[in-house]
Structure 1
Amino acid sequence: MKLTGKERVLAALLGATAALAVTALILILVEATSVRLPTDTKFGIVFDAGSSHTSLFVYRWPADKENDTGVVSQALACKVEGPGISSYTSNPAQAGESLRGCLEEALAVIPEAQRPQTPLFLGATAGMRLLSQKNSSQAGDIFAAVTQVLGQAPLDFRGAELLASQDEGALGWITINYVLGLLVKYSFSGEWIRPPEGTLVGALDMGGASTQITFVPGGPVLDKSTQAAFRLYGFEHSVYTHSYLCFGRDQMLTRLLAGLLQSRQALRVRHPCYHSGYRGTVSLAPLYESPCVQATAPPGLPQSLTVEGTGNPRACVSATRGLFNFSSCEGREDCAFNGVYQPPVRGQFYAFSSFFHTFHFLNLTSRQSLATVNATVWDFCQKPWKLVEAAWPGQQPWLRDHCASGLYMLTLLLEGYGFTEETWPSIEFRKQAGGTDIGWALGYMLNLTNMIPAEVPAQWRAESYGVWVASVVFVALTLAAILAAAAAQLLWARD
């Protein structure tokens, strides 16, 4: 049907009005988005100086959203070449020099103009903790060498320090729950909402020298030395946390071998956790240098010893159980091992670091049942060494230790921490969460830069949200009124 001239004019006016209204709506949405999108990006750098290696992490976040949740992302992860800094006792300067490669990679990520405002931290954990106990002077020399190198970087260097053992577990707990967005939720009404406590995830961490467990208990923490309290986003959080020094993967292997040496009958050791057919030589002097080895070297001990594998998982479990003092917790439900207080485990857990690497190697990170996990580890331990070498070429020198690690971790999780067949599915073995490596480093940075506020400065955000909603509603109603009036005018014109 052909429109009259009057109808064409009204249709054109209607189209123009609708276009203007839509344009206004788009402008409002863009303005609202501009309030929420970053105008700049800030960076932070953390060196995680562990016992076996050092890693660098670069984090970034929108400058105008420092107090928001879940806005930090990992921009770079770099593994420093060489061992952990605690290994450089004979050449402390090399501990600092070893960090330069990753530091250069970090600087390449950060714009030059922002480098002076970029915080840089180095936190050392159980390896340096053990060295400080053994020789505080050597530990001081290493920290001085590290400080000299990092202090020369064009960054805001905040220091190199020893991380308190309880902080290591607690900060790892913050990291996981932060990147998963579980610490706080923001409602459409402009309010911060605390998620139910049952949604918070526990943390199971294992490094080379220590292991940590942290979770929200079902009741009050009776031993205050195992409690960590935070005020995050205006909400109080109280967690149980404990760090076991000398129960990390590397120190466990050292203590295990030292225990087997005490009962040796000749210049060789038959190791039940090594695969049958394995034969190797170990240097004995470093074994007894570890503060975690309480035994003294047997008299007449040679410089090296031959170790032969027997591939006996039952005997391996017996040997690893000898590393724990379970008798000190007999008759107590609130005790893990070595007389350490622990409430019953509760909720979901993320197991990371050495937990993840060991179970990932064994292909056991897909939430398999405990029966499947146990059978898989035992089957692996009973494989002849020749078959293991052929199946995983080029994975020395740690290939021989996965059997011991797997059985040790099962003993720790089940007999130590108290997980059962029913609660085992609550453990998820992960390296990352939300695209970020899991560990204490992000929580360390968040804590020291006060990126997680004690109170919620969100008033401006609620106001912006309210204005945005009102603007959208106003434009929508105006557009509807214009369309209705134009339609009525067209009908009138036809009549």
Structure 2
Amino acid sequence: MPSFPPKSSLPTHQLQPLAQHQDQSDDDDDMQTANSRRQPGDKGDRFSSSHPFRSLTPRRIAAIAAVLIVCIFFFGKSSGGGRDGYHSAAVETLTADGVAPNEAAVEVDKLPSGSPQKQHSASSRKCTPPPGKKATTYAIMIDAGSTGSRLHLYTFSHCDPNPDALPKLEDELFVTTKPGLSSYKGKPVDAAESLRSLLQQAVDAVPEHERSCTPIAVKATAGLRLLGSKQSQDILDEVERWLSDEWPFAVVKDGVVVMDGKDEGVYAWITINFLLGFIGPDQPASAGTAAVMDLGGASTQIVFEPIYDPGSSDKLAPGDHIYELDFAGKDHVLYQHSHLGYGLMQARRALHNLVAYSYVWSSAPKGKHVEWDDLSTRDRIPNPCMFKGETKKVTLDPPGRAEKDVTMVGTGAGFEACRRVMEVMINKDAACEEPPCAFAGVYQPRMSEVFSAGKVWALSYFYDRIAPLGLSSPFSISSLRQLTADVCSGRDSKAWARFKGNAEALDELSDRPEYCLDLTFMYSLLSLGYELEEERQVWMGKKVGDVELGWALGAALAMVEGHLSCRAD
């Protein structure tokens, strides 16, 4: 049985949150992290050592910009116009009320027979709990993000007599509160008290005789990371004391923490593979598991379980990408990595910086030399990844240069022009010290060789941008390419006939001038970065059945499958 959290060979490092409930998406956290400035007491640079643009000095960026000039200015000339200062809050969120577009869900009656969700319920006469286990148990996981705290109260039933069987998720109580713990810098007591309304609802929902045996944990994500170690630890210590002294639940050991990035991705991996029945005591290792590719605002993550020929000497190279997981009586060796700086919002900013450098670089030969320090919103910089004539004010912030606000103007140059710029940013040709590498010089075994048959699940922004446009799950990489090309061709093209009658798609496209940029980045990340073949199928969604996809359920499962004890009092 696993300890809590599951064992791992990894050191601590940061990763951004995965997708959460549709009415409280952690896109907020990703945007907070993507746009944050270094805070007092935070020893980390705004661009971490693994950030793709940390090594790009102004001279190096200028050299790259020279290569981009042909791409941008031969294919991306613009006549200007459009809506000056165009900006919509919807560019960086799901919808005004936080609700995701039409959900792609796997129906419960279509789940594989091995899924725990196919078990009998605790209320059924056929429910036969394992020896020594109750038919119903509860677990509480608090997701403490930067914009708010979300409590998940899970109700599990144990109706499979096999002692090693995984439980069935019967119900979930989901409640939220704002602001997040990180808003209480220097006020740890107030931070703990901000959770009172959540805990009261949990007390009301859990039967009195079950409260002392109900485990609870608090996992903080993006917000507390920005406060610095002392400020965040003061808050966590007070929250743990407060939970232990004032509430009846069993606070698990090391359960009130800033969550390690490696755990977020792996917990999401547990969630999906648990719901699909790919992990558990009856599943042979050769059956394979599903991979998770998550796209947040500040980073993108990948987690999968490579399968090597037993007779081969090939295996995962040693390193902090290895995650050893003991779950449900089975050992899993996972590959995981968080590509910091490659989230959707960071990708936008990086591309805007590159396009702006090309603009500055090319100004001198045209006889209209532009100095970086003189840039302002009066500068209308042609951008091949935006719709023709669309404008948007953006903030440029390359390393070594002062921040500047400028106006990007879409050229409508199309998919190929945008893709050429994007491929420079993906950095596929970076030095690879331990081949094979995915991109940015990061080691990753080739999925075509060690994960050729497994299902790939794309989460968060992948779903939020692709699903509203009518591309159903699963989709092929080639169909994503065609969708991207059609979107990038612009509103006046014949290709947009595919959206006729799709009010949701037209509404989405009209509200985001960077839709071409977003889709081109996603396609480039999957096809060039992760080397998924054009015919490879990708699943996406926010739910499996009625259950949300994300790390919280996986973390709760790891908790209840660990060594738990009731409160002595």
Counterpart in the other structure of 1:119 = 215
Is the Cα–Cα contact under 8 Å of residues 128 and 158 in structure 2 kept in the other structure?
A: no
Alignment length, in residue pairs? 399
Query: Which piece of structure 1 moves more, 311-320 or 434-443?
Result: 311-320
Comparing both structures, which one devotes a greater share of its residues to helix?
A: 1
Counterpart in the other structure of 2:173 = 76
State the AA in 2 paired with 1:399: R
Deviations 1:144-180 (A, max 9, x none): 6866886766544454322222222222222211122
Give the whole-Å Cα distance in 1 for the aligned partners of 2:223 and 2:516: 23
- Structure 2 gaps of 5+ residues are 1-123, 309-314, 361-374, 565-569
The residue matched to 1:379 in structure 2 has which SS? helix
Deviations 1:258-284 (A, max 9, x none): 3334444453333333322322334x4
**Match 2:418 to one of 295, 313, 316:** 316
Deviations 1:350-382 (A, max 9, x none): 222222222212322332333322121222233
The residue matched to 1:355 in structure 2 has which SS? helix
**Match 1:306 to one of 397, 402, 407:** 407
The residue matched to 1:47 in structure 2 has which SS? strand
Counterpart in the other structure of 1:470 = none
Is the Cα–Cα contact under 8 Å of residues 122 and 161 in structure 1 kept in the other structure?
A: yes
State the AA in 2 paired with 1:68: A
| Matching of residue 378 in structure 1 with residue 485 in structure 2 | yes
| Matching of residue 409 in structure 1 with residue 522 in structure 2 | yes
Percent identity for Structure 1 against Structure 2? 30
| Matching of residue 202 in structure 1 with residue 291 in structure 2 | yes
> Residues 142-221 of structure 1 correspond to what in structure 2 (within 5 A)?
143=236, 155-158=249-252, 159-184=255-280, 192-219=281-308, 220-221=315-316
**Match 1:225 to one of 320, 325, 331:** 320
> Residues 22-101 of structure 1 correspond to what in structure 2 (within 5 A)?
33=127, 35=129, 41-49=136-144, 55-62=150-157, 67-78=164-175
| TM norm structure 1 | 0.67
Give the whole-Å Cα distance in 2 for the aligned partners of 1:249 and 1:100: 34
- Structure 1 gaps of 5+ residues are 1-29, 185-191, 289-293, 454-495
The residue matched to 2:426 in structure 1 has which SS? coil
| Matching of residue 239 in structure 1 with residue 346 in structure 2 | no
Alpha-carbon distance, 1:57 to partner: 2.6
Shift of the 35–429 alpha-carbon distance from structure 1 to 2, 3 Å rule, reads: closer
Give the whole-Å Cα distance in 1 for the aligned partners of 2:515 and 2:148: 18
Give the whole-Å Cα distance in 2 for the aligned partners of 1:149 and 1:390: 49
Give the whole-Å Cα distance in 2 for the aligned partners of 1:252 and 1:340: 17
Structural RMSD (CA): 4.1
Give the whole-Å Cα distance in 1 for the aligned partners of 2:488 and 2:243: 44
Deviations 1:6-51 (A, max 9, x none): xxxxxxxxxxxxxxxxxxxxxxxx9874557985532222233456
Alpha-carbon distance, 1:70 to partner: 4.3
State the AA in 1 paired with 2:534: E
Is the Cα–Cα contact under 8 Å of residues 418 and 517 in structure 2 kept in the other structure?
A: yes
The residue matched to 1:176 in structure 2 has which SS? helix
Counterpart in the other structure of 1:490 = none
The residue matched to 1:244 in structure 2 has which SS? strand
Give the whole-Å Cα distance in 2 for the aligned partners of 1:259 and 1:150: 48
State the AA in 2 paired with 1:118: T
Alpha-carbon distance, 1:242 to partner: 1.3
Give the whole-Å Cα distance in 2 for the aligned partners of 1:98 and 1:276: 47
Counterpart in the other structure of 1:418 = 531
Alpha-carbon distance, 1:110 to partner: 3.3
Counterpart in the other structure of 1:275 = 387
Shift of the 115–310 alpha-carbon distance from structure 1 to 2, 3 Å rule, reads: farther
> Residues 428-439 of structure 1 correspond to what in structure 2 (within 5 A)?
428-439=539-550
| Higher RCO by CA contacts (8 Å cutoff, separation 6 or greater) | 2
Is the Cα–Cα contact under 8 Å of residues 171 and 440 in structure 1 kept in the other structure?
A: yes
| Matching of residue 354 in structure 1 with residue 354 in structure 2 | no
| Matching of residue 367 in structure 1 with residue 478 in structure 2 | no
| TM norm structure 2 | 0.59
Is the Cα–Cα contact under 8 Å of residues 129 and 135 in structure 2 kept in the other structure?
A: no
State the AA in 1 paired with 2:155: R
